[in-house]
Amino acid sequence: ISGVRFIDDTNMIDLLEIELSIVDKTLVKGGNFLAKCFEGRSTEFLSKEINKRFKIMKRLKPDSSRKISKEIYLLGLNKN
């Protein structure tokens, strides 16, 4: 994390696009995917990309995460 929101958002999208290309190639139908990211402008785009590939997509914020933290997890369940 650089601390520069635009750079961090761009890097997060790049990283998750790589992860999703691996999901497309290797994860079996019905499989699940979990990605840690930080709430920002890119989150909506990433949620849509996960939603395209999975029957269920959820945004999760662990109870142990600080309230002010932007940390979230995007969960894709049951790959199409």
Strand order in the sheet with 71-79: 33-38, 71-79, 54-60
- pLDDT band, very low/low/confident/very high, at 2 (cuts 50, 70, 90): low
Phi then psi for residue 69, to 5 deg, are -70, 140
Q: Is 52 a catalytic residue?
A: no
pLDDT at res. 6: 73
pLDDT at res. 77: 97
How far is residue 70's CA from residue 22's CA, in Å, rounded to a whole number? Answer: 25
pLDDT at res. 66: 78
Catalytic residue among 36, 48, 52, 58: 36
The full length of the chain comes to 80
pLDDT at res. 33: 96
Which residue segments constitute the domains of the chain, with CATH numbers given? 5-79 (3.40.50.150)
- For residue 30, which amino acid is it? G
Q: What is the CA radius of gyration of the chain?
A: 13
* Residues 20-74: tens digit of each pLDDT: 999 999 999 999 999 988 887 778 888 999 999 999 999 998 877 777 777 889 9
